[in-house]
Amino acid sequence: MLTTILAIALSIFSMVDQINLETRLTNLEKMVCELQAQVNKKENTENWLQNLVGSISDESAFLEALEYGRVFRQSDRPLDKLE
């Protein structure tokens, strides 16, 4: 009798685990579909460079950033190649 009760209990736990697993899998499949839709939507947008062009409104800050970049790149060069 005890083995029968244990077998029934294990069967119930297995069913609950199976239902829980199926529910989680269904939720994951929905999430993957939503993420794929978002990626596909973004692939169809304009070129990212076109969105960037004209977005810098402060030209002096942009020129300063360019100068910082130039100085940083030149800091790695040997002294005899700086000229």
Count how many domains the chain has. Answer: 1
Is the predicted pLDDT of residue 83 greater than 60, yes or no? no
pLDDT per position as a tens digit, 11-65:
777 777 888 888 889 999 999 999 998 888 776 556 777 777 777 777 888 889 9
Is the predicted pLDDT of residue 82 greater than 70, yes or no? no
Domain that holds residue 63: 2-81
Q: Using an 8 Å Cβ cutoff, are 56 and 62 in contact? A: yes
The pTM for the full model equals 0.40
Q: Render 59-74 in DSSP notation, one character per residue.
A: HHHHHHHHHHHHHHHH
pLDDT of residue 30: 94
